[in-house]
A and B are shown apart, each in its own frame.
Chain A
Amino acid sequence: MLRATGKRDRDIFDEVWPEKRKIVLKLLRQETVSQLEWQDLFFGVHFVCLWDEKGASKIYDGLQQDIVEFIVQAQSKVQAQRGEQALLATYIVEWRKFFTQSNYLPLPFRQLEQSPQVKPASSSSSTSSSTSAGGGASTSNAAASSSNQASLSSSSAKASTSAAASNAASTSVGAASNSASAAASSSKKSPTEDSPVRKLMLDSWNKHIFHDIKDRLQESAMKIVHAERNGDAYDAQLVVGVRESYVNLSSNAEDKLEIYREYFEKAYLKATADFYRLKSAEQQQENGVLAYMKYADAKLREEEVRAKRYLEPSSFNILTCRLVKVLIVDHLNSIIAECPALIRDYETDRLNLMFRLMDRVLDGEGVEAMMGDLQRHIKSAGLADMQSASEIITQDSEKYVERLLELFNKFSDLVRNAFNDDPRFLTARDIAFKMVVNDTSVFKMELPTSIANRGVKYTAPESKCPELLANYCDMLLRRTPLSKRLTSEQIDARLRDVLLVLKYVNNKDVFMRYHKVHLTRRLILGTSADSEKEEDIVEWLREVGMPADYVNRLARMFQDIKVSEDLNTQFRNSISRHDAINIKILNAGAWARCSERVSVSLPIELEDYIPDVEEFYKKKHSGRKLQWYHHMSNGTITFVNNFGRYDLDVTTFQMAVLFAWNQRQHDKISYENLRLATELPDPELRRTLWSLVAFPKIKKQILLMEPAAISSPKDFAENTMFYINQEFAIVKNGKSQRRGKLNLIGRLQLSTERSQQEDNQSIVQLRILRTQEAIIKIMKVRKRMNNAALQAELIDILKNMFLPSKKMIKEQLEWLIEHKYMRRDDDDINMFIYVA
């Protein structure tokens, strides 16, 4: 060591390096290096760094020179190739060789890492290589600055001692990193990764060879991909090799894919887009849009597979986006234009294909357009279907509901098969179906136009759908030919169907009202086909979100009937002779609103029962009194004439009328006298008489009149005469029967002289109250609220009953303001304030 102090620094480098350089060159050329030589190189580098102050930078410069020289040789080899494949192949071979060495060569030069003369270059690596276009220039700058610094640092000994400590740490990390690809692809840092020598190697390669021929490389690679797309087989490994070189070439540790992204990915994307831009137009022109969809779908998949081969995973999404743009978005309008026709023809496979293509478009524009088409189709097809069958379905609720369900199932199938039950399309179906169900062009229910109080001027016509649904329900639940024909399961399934359609009905309150009226009739007349089912459907109605107070009222009705049955048993036990009497006592609030009492003079037999019943009830429930609803009571009478003996189901009013003849069977009684005898109000008497002289669908009526040519109950005059038809008989299959049973009740009149119109009026009335109630409820909580928010919340509250029209909401708001429940803000006309 003493001998070394006497020599000048320069000499040590000059003395040692030429020998070591040979080893370096051997390494670069991948020639065999003996163990001794390999160790000698370590020693030499260490020796120079230790004894020569500027040794590190000298070695670095020398190394750079050799590397550049080697690269220039390699470049000339590569450049000499004319053919694209040959060029790629040669480049890949050269690159792989060089890259493998870039993992070994830095090892002996570890010492340089610790040298402050070289270090700045490695610490500024991110800046020098990030400017990749001028990468070469900046590397040489860094090298220059490092040699400048070398002269400033005087104490190399100090540097090397601190180096020893950290050096020990880093060598222990991994002596076993030799695979080039592993070093490049794994995120784990290999010991050589940060080495300035490695960086020097890669940067030099970048500058001296890659920079010059990268365009040719890319071009060649893309030509191969292009050829492959056209169906020619090429060596895919060439493309893969080029891509690997792009990835591994990056010396930027933070973003390894920088060079790859900057050049290879960009070129690949551009080539792909260009290729398909041409092809897609060509395909569409030649084969039409429908075939093109198939083409686009196939190509998208094909390119996804290809991308997995040729691209880094980070590029997949970008590539797909670009492809979708070229293959789908650019052709969006022509593809979408086919949609209505496909929907019309139920071409589910093609629609499914179109849906899959459109679903790839990010902003959802295509899917939205398809949804619009679907919606329009369902609406127009549904309405057209309804209109073409309007003759039947407006009259026959069974046919109507079945038709509606058929349509619904058809559209649901379409959504399932073509759009995989995608929620967006299900919504579109629902919206459209709602329009069909609530449409008023086929048939409508006129709600009254004038109600004097509360400021309602008119209401829009509404669909008759809820009424027909309730009617259909009634047919299933009552003992009817329909319900007898079906099994219990079939009835259940149909009831479920009704609820399904009901979901789409805006004005559920109409359904509720009709359902309740029908239920009232069934319970009072005892005509339910299956009482269990009756209660089931109440629960189902609760499940589909019908308002709780409505459902509770229905449940209450069943309770009343049960309580009444118990009461009847007790009553019969207490007084033995009344076994033909049955009482149904209803809670006034729960049942369909009954009108005021109607007076009637009951047959003597019944008149006797009444006080007994009342007395019995009074004993059972003190503090209560009974109020009779004779318009709802009914019974069975035995009618005997010369011809036969018949059991007739009649209303109490009919009973009262027929009993007028009991004492004078052959008399003709005038209308006036009947009124006196029965004490029935005029409209009830007319209606009852009409049901006895002109009951629909029977051959022989029980009463006859004079004159016989009266065509409506309104035409009965005071002196119109009525008499018993002595020839009355039940006719079956053209033969008069001697015995038999006949129902003369028909539809039990629940309200008395109220007409349908007035019934509907009460629907509107109820809606008004509900709306007001809901507004007040909301305002009470919110205190202040603007118009739009109030309307939204209002509709939310009311939607399970009915859809309040804007006009009605406005009218009710005005009414509430007028009556000082709330007021408008002085400054903002759209702001409401609750007034306590």
Chain B
Amino acid sequence: MKVTIKSWTGVASWRWIANDENCGICRMSFESTCPECALPGDDCPLVWGVCSHCFHMHCIVKWLNLQQLNKQCPMCRQSWKFNIH
């Protein structure tokens, strides 16, 4: 008797790797969405700053648009730059 694998379908979901549980702006869990979205996941992504803080993309964009002069991270007041891996 011998059993060999012919094919396999693996099922997985994905989660954000964030350094915090909740978004520092909207206080919602990263696993759920920003207040404006309905479906978590691809439609409401997270973004990281070079300062390593992480927010819902919709939240931080809204925040940055509200800042007149210096675009700063709302958590650490460093100048905000998107961290593109």
Contacts and interface: CB of A to CB of B under 8 A. Distances in A.
Do these two chains really belong together in a complex?
yes
A747 interface: no
Interface centre among A605, A624, A629 (most CB of B within 10 A): A624
A32 B45 CA distance: 110
B6 interface: yes
Contacts of B41: 556, 587-590
A553 interface: yes
Interface in B42-62: 42, 46, 48, 54
Contacts of A316: none
A580 B5 CA distance: 9
Interface in B8-34: 8-18, 31-33
Contact of B9 (A610, A635, A647, A724): A635
B6 A580 contact: yes
A158 interface: no
Interface string A411-439: 00000000000000000000000000000
Contacts of B35: none
B5 A655 contact: yes
A636 B6 contact: yes
Contacts of A582: 7-10
A587 B18 CA distance: 17
A585 B12 contact: yes
Given A589-B41, A623-B46, A623-B48, A638 B3 contact: yes
Contacts of B48: 623
B68 interface: no
B13 A627 contact: yes
Nearest to A724: B1
A585 B13 contact: yes
A524 B11 contact: yes
A726 interface: yes
A443 interface: no
Contacts of A610: 10
Interface string A622-650: 11111111101111111111000001000
A637 B46 contact: no
Contacts of B2: 639-641, 662, 665
B22 to A, nearest CB: 16
B11 to A, nearest CB: 4
B12 A629 contact: yes
A362 interface: no
Nearest to B8: A635
A581 B10 CA distance: 8
Given A590-B39, A623-B46, A624-B17, A637 B12 contact: no
Nearest to A581: B8
A399 B5 CA distance: 39
A659 B85 CA distance: 40
B72 to A, nearest CB: 21
A628 B16 contact: no
Interface residues of B, number: 30
Q: Provide the main secondary structure of the chain B interface.
A: strand
Given A589-B39, A589-B41, A583 B13 contact: no
Q: Provide the main secondary structure of the chain A interface.
A: mixed
A625 B15 contact: yes
A786 B61 CA distance: 42
B1 A586 contact: no
A395 interface: no
Nearest to B46: A623
Contacts of A596: none
B3 A639 contact: yes
A284 B45 CA distance: 79
Given A583-B9, A627-B15, A639 B1 contact: yes
A638 B9 contact: no
Nearest to B84: A622
Contact of B40 (A552, A587, A628, A641): A587
Given A553-B39, A628-B11, A633-B10, A623 B3 contact: no
B63 to A, nearest CB: 19
B85 A556 contact: no
Contact of A587 (B3, B11, B39): B39
Nearest to B31: A588
Interface in A544-592: 549, 552-553, 556, 580-591
B44 to A, nearest CB: 9
B4 interface: yes
A626 B11 CA distance: 10
A321 interface: no
A766 interface: no
Nearest to A659: B3
B69 interface: no
A500 interface: no
A635 B7 contact: yes
B66 interface: no
A606 interface: yes
A625 B13 contact: no
Contact of A606 (B1, B8, B39, B46): B8
A633 B9 contact: yes
A65 B35 CA distance: 100
A732 interface: no
A243 B16 CA distance: 94
Contacts of B7: 580-582, 635-636
A605 B5 contact: yes
Nearest to A728: B1
B38 interface: yes
A711 B8 CA distance: 31
Nearest to B85: A622
A637 B5 contact: yes
Nearest to B37: A589
A658 interface: yes
Interface string A648-692: 000010010011011001100000000000000000000000000
A231 B14 CA distance: 91
B50 to A, nearest CB: 14
B6 A637 contact: yes
A617 interface: yes
Given A637-B5, A639-B3, A647-B6, A623 B85 contact: yes
A289 interface: no
Contacts of B11: 524, 583-584, 586, 628-630, 632-633
B6 A588 contact: no
A135 interface: no
A93 interface: no
Given A588-B41, A623-B85, A640-B1, A635 B6 contact: yes
A622 B11 CA distance: 19
Contacts of A27: none
A460 interface: no
A634 B9 contact: yes
B5 A591 contact: no
B82 to A, nearest CB: 12
Interface centre among B11, B32, B38, B42 (most CB of A within 10 A): B11
B38 A552 contact: yes
A621 interface: yes
Interface centre among B5, B12, B54 (most CB of A within 10 A): B12
28 contacts: A549-B38, A553-B39, A556-B39, A581-B8, A583-B9, A587-B13, A587-B14, A588-B31, A588-B40, A589-B32, A617-B14, A622-B85, A623-B85, A624-B17, A625-B16, A626-B12, A628-B11, A632-B11, A633-B9, A635-B5, A635-B7, A635-B9, A636-B7, A637-B3, A638-B3, A640-B2, A658-B3, A662-B3
Given A582-B10, A606-B10, A629-B11, 18 more contacts: A584-B12, A586-B11, A588-B15, A589-B40, A594-B13, A624-B14, A625-B17, A626-B14, A627-B15, A628-B11, A634-B9, A635-B5, A637-B4, A638-B4, A641-B1, A652-B8, A724-B1, A726-B1
> Closest 4 CB pairs between A and B?
A635-B8, A587-B41, A622-B85, A632-B11
